[in-house]
Amino acid sequence: GQSLEQPSEVTAVEGAIVQINCTYQTSGFYGLSWYQQHDGGAPTFLSYNALDGLEETGRFSSFLSRSDSYGYLLLQELQMKDSASYFCAVTRSNDYKLSFGAGTTVTVRA
């Protein structure tokens, strides 16, 4: 089976840094993806980690530690438009599927 855990809610002020942690238990783990979903909208792909380490894409970075079955998404220089739900999702070897976590709602305050 598979399980993913991430915090349900995070609140921060504009300009701050937020880290969303994701721990997983997945047989045949291949990689960890992150998606953003604004209220009422469709999820959009943010990043993917298959190897240990940090991947940086603008203000967002994602980290993976395969030995710890752990990853995180780092949101820097928070803006109001970053208020959304963020999902971690795992893929397994030789698999086309994603298994999503329950999501973390990030609220950015002025």
Partner 1 sequence: SQTIHQWPATLVQPVGSPLSLECTVEGTSNPNLYWYRQAAGRGLQLLFYSVGIGQISSEVPQNLSASRPQDRQFILSSKKLLLSDSGFYLCAWSGGTSGYEQYFGPGTRLTVT
Binding site residues, partner 1, CB under 8 A: 30-31, 33, 41-45, 48, 50, 87, 89, 91, 95-103
CB hemisphere CA count around 98 (13 angstroms): 13
Q: Nearest approach, Cβ of 19 to partner 1 (angstroms)?
A: 20
Q: Nearest approach, Cβ of 33 to partner 1 (angstroms)?
A: 5
**Nearest CA among 58, 37, 34 for reference residue 47:** 34
Handedness of CA 7, 71, 45, 18 (dihedral sign): positive
- Closest to partner 1 by CB, 67 or 94: 94
- Closest to partner 1 by CB, 9 or 77: 9
% helix, strand, coil for the chain, step of 5: 5, 60, 35
- Closest to partner 1 by CB, 13 or 46: 46
- Closest to partner 1 by CB, 44 or 79: 44
Q: Nearest approach, Cβ of 57 to partner 1 (angstroms)?
A: 13
Tokens 């993976």 found at: 64
